[in-house]
Structures are given as C-alpha cells and as structure tokens.
C-alpha cells in the first residue's frame, strides 16, 4: 500500500476486552488526527468474527471527527468465496466490477448511546443493501445469499 502512496494506520478493534492489546486506541487517535488534517480514511465497519455486523468504532470516529460516514460496497463478477466465518471473497482479474454507495451517515457530536446504536444499525442496514445492489448489478448472489 505504501508503495502506491497510500498511508496506513495499523490497529484493530475488538468486541471483547482486547481493544487496547490490538492497538485499537492508538489507531483511533491517529484516524481522528488524519481526518482533522483533511485526509480521508477507509476502514471496514464490521467487528471481528461477526460477519455483516457493524461495530460502534466507526460511529465513534464519525462523532469525534465530525466527518460523515460514506458506506459503500464493492463486488466483482469473478471471485473465489472462502468457507470462513465471514465468507470472504477474493476478487479475480478480467471481470466486471460494481461499486455502490447509497447515502452518507452523519453522527452529531452530542450523540448519546441510544443514538449511536441507532446509527450503527442504520450503517449496518445501508452496507447490507449496498452489497445486495452491487452483486445484483453483476447478476451474482451476494455473501448473504451464499
């Protein structure tokens, strides 16, 4: 990634107690700084070992940074689907691709726990719908249909 001029922020969140051990706190702070510097940040919204379940981390990042979440899904017509916990797809060359975004999600700076949970669910539903639409454009079943 760095050879392509893409900066990296390494760290991982966790839905258990290992958030600090996996570098999540440092990564979160670095993402807030990067967003404040005017750069964009791309990350996956799902939590480890729970496919298609959006975590609160991305909602917290949007609240702290004041930047909107722009959820999108990408699919290709040629891929290999792994038989693992999240049915990961490995995109193959020489196929067609689709990139689908539906709407931005804004998190107010004063969002309380209930509002953050509602926005997390909205994000999860938006990502699932974007994934369905991307695969439908290619005439392929999505991961939730496999």
Q: Which residues contact 11 (CB under 8 A, 6 or more apart)?
A: 22, 23, 24, 25, 26, 27, 28, 30
- Output the pTM of the full model: 0.82
Query: For residue range 12-33, what is the model confidence (pLDDT) as tens digits?
Result: 765 555 555 567 788 889 999 9
For helices 113-137 and 57-65, the axis angle rounded to 10 degrees is 110
Query: For residue range 78-103, what is the model confidence (pLDDT) as tens digits?
Result: 989 888 877 788 899 999 999 999 99
Q: Please give the pLDDT value at position 141.
A: 73
* Mean pLDDT within 112-132: 95
Mean residue pLDDT of the chain comes to 86
What residue spans define the domains of the chain? 2-145
Q: Label residue 52 exposed, middle or buried (CB < 10 Å: 0-12, 13-18, 19+).
A: middle
- Taking the C-alpha atoms of residue 45 and residue 60, their distance in angstroms, rounded to an integer, is 11
């Amino acid at each position: 990634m760095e050879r392509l001029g893409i900066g990296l922020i390494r760290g991982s969140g966790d839905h258990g107690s290992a958030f600090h051990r996996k570098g999540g706190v440092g990564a979160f702070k670095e993402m807030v700084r990067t967003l404040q510097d005017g750069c964009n940040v791309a990350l996956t919204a799902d939590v480890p070992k729970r496919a298609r379940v959006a975590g609160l981390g991305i909602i917290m990042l949007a609240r702290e940074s004041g930047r909107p979440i722009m959820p999108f899904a990408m699919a290709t017509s040629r891929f290999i689907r792994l038989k693992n916990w999240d049915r990961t797809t490995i995109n193959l060359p020489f196929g067609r691709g689709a990139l689908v975004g539906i709407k931005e999600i804004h998190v107010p700076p004063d969002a309380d726990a209930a509002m953050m949970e509602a926005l997390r669910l909205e994000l999860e539903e938006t990502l699932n719908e974007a994934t369905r639409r991307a695969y439908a454009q290619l005439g392929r079943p999505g991961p939730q249909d496999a």
